[in-house]
Amino acid sequence: MSEPKRYRLDPESYLAEHPQGDFVDYQDYAHLKAEVERLTKAGDSLYKSMLEIGCNEMADNFQYDAWFGSMKDWSAAKEGKPRA
């Protein structure tokens, strides 16, 4: 999807197009929401696969660190927290 048009409140015309506006068209919002849900399901599937692999399968500390970091990042993202 291309970037949705964003709008901000404008005293003269009620809403004006603005690149950092807080508002988007409802159709764009619905499309973005569906895309977030699709990507979340994909992320959950990857997370589940990574749990099944588990840290016992990691050959060295670098692989474990990458695995553990990925798991932490996904968990934080699901909670709306910034990357640690």
Q: What is the pLDDT of residues 20-78, one digit of tens each?
A: 888 888 788 888 888 889 988 988 888 888 777 765 566 555 677 777 788 888 888 88
Contacts 24+ apart (CB under 8 A), 58-62: none
Whether 10 contacts 30, CB under 8 Å: no
CA 18/CA 27 separation, integer angstroms: 17
Overall pTM > 0.85? no
The token pair at 53 is 């692999």
